[in-house]
Amino acid sequence: MANHSATKKDVRQASKRRDRNRYYGKTTRNAIRDLKTSAEKKGYEEKLPDVISMIDKLAKRGIIHKNKAANLKSKLVKKATALA
């Protein structure tokens, strides 16, 4: 690591961002997992908009790719229609 103060600050900022991104990613993955294990249609459809919103936020922030977000949402909606 360089001894420049700007570089030290950049390292601190990157560490904070990495921790924050890992938190958001893990929280969303847990929400997706919980949603997938939900068996009843009513509970699934109540949680689905919240999880989709979380996925969209991850894509907007650049934590996951926009195509991965689209694939995740597609699979979740496909399961919602299958529960019908």
Q: What is the spatial distance between Cα 38 and Cα 46, in angstroms, rounded to a whole number?
A: 11
Angle between helices 5-37 and 41-61 (to 10 degrees): 160
pLDDT in tens, the chain (84 residues): 678 999 999 999 999 999 999 999 999 999 999 999 987 888 899 999 999 999 999 999 999 999 999 999 999 999 999 886
